[in-house]
A = this chain, B = another copy of it.
Amino acid sequence: MGGGIGQSLLKDGLARVQREVDSVFDAMLPVPQDSRARLVEAMRYAAIGGGKRVRPLLLVSTAELFGVDRDRALRAACAVEAIHVYSLIHDDLPCMDNDDLRHGKPTLHKAFDDATAVLAGDSLHALAFEILADPETSADPFIRVELISTLGRASGKDGMAGGQMMDMMAEEQDYDLHTITRLQQLKTGALLAASVEMGAIMGHVPPEGRAHLRAYSRDIGLAFQIADDLLDHEGDETKAGKALRKDDGQGKQTFVTLMGAEKAREQAKALVEQAVGHLAAHGEDARMLAAVARYIVERDR
């Protein structure tokens, strides 16, 4: 699991899952022959191409640990990614973060219009649950329902959307490190953790068997957000494919403003090593999950 081997494993793993996710979305989103065409074209614009696909890679890599069929795992991975993509579309809207650039291309509301962006986000949101409810994702309805319940909780008011609300209030309120940690656990951590959890659910791992994976997710979730704050603070906009230095401009507290860049970087690295430690029982089988953890702090976008 050295840096070089881990990096090449990760690069191949990401490239493969990027191709696969694009291909599943392409098949799921045929453009209809009526005036809904514009809606589906907008969904395709946002869902296909671009995106690191970290969440899908987490889900399929966890599922692989437990021998889950890859095509089924990929469907669940696309459900998680559909939620992630819809949240980016709505986040980028003028009334939210008002961003013009995402994955190096114009944001959806720039390429289409605001109303289409709202509707395309809503439609991707519904698509996630349609995918999970379909027997093609799992023949076992217990599994399908547990996947839906896990994703619903991770994305709603007690997960991602709740974290986004806390983030919106951050400009007015001086959050301390405890509150910033809680905010990020909801805003970013919940969906990353759901990806890992859903892979284990598909592998019929009971809740008590998922504790070490939850610990792994908690650590990489936090490391991911610290890395994001560092990127926002000192990254390259061209590589990132989006506007940076926004937190600084809004006077928001982040891990970097609260801890300083140097300490934040050390903390992220320590979290990643701790995360990798939680995978010990899986030995070499977990090398992709270990590589994802390391990638999270080393990425430049």
Contact = CB atoms under 8 A, between A and B. Distances in A.
A119 interface: yes
A144 B152 CA distance: 14
Contacts of A133: 145-146, 148-149, 152
A164 interface: yes
Contacts of A125: 122, 125-126
A95 interface: yes
Given A35-B165, A35-B166, A168-B115, A122 B90 contact: yes
A169 interface: yes
A137 to B, nearest CB: 10
A204 to B, nearest CB: 14
Contacts of A148: 129, 132-133, 145, 148
Nearest to A168: B115
A162 interface: yes
Contact of A93 (B43, B118, B141, B179): B118
A194 to B, nearest CB: 12
A134 B152 CA distance: 11
A164 B130 contact: no
A153 B95 CA distance: 28
A169 B127 contact: no
B123 A152 contact: no
Contacts of A9: none
A92 to B, nearest CB: 11
Interface in A89-148: 90, 93-96, 113-116, 118-119, 121-123, 125-127, 129-130, 132-134, 141-142, 144-146, 148
Most buried by B among A87, A126, A153, A156: A126
- Label chain A's interface by main secondary structure: helix
A246 interface: no
B90 A126 contact: no
Contact of A123 (B40, B93, B132, B156): B156
Contacts of A168: 115-116, 119
Contact of A152 (B114, B118, B130): B130
A179 B169 CA distance: 44
A223 to B, nearest CB: 23
A173 interface: yes
A130 B118 contact: no
A157 B43 contact: yes
7 contacts: A32-B162, A34-B182, A39-B162, A90-B119, A119-B161, A127-B157, A129-B151
Given A133-B146, A141-B144, 7 more contacts: A36-B157, A36-B186, A39-B162, A95-B113, A123-B161, A123-B162, A148-B148
A172 to B, nearest CB: 9
Given A130-B149, A166-B36, A157 B118 contact: no
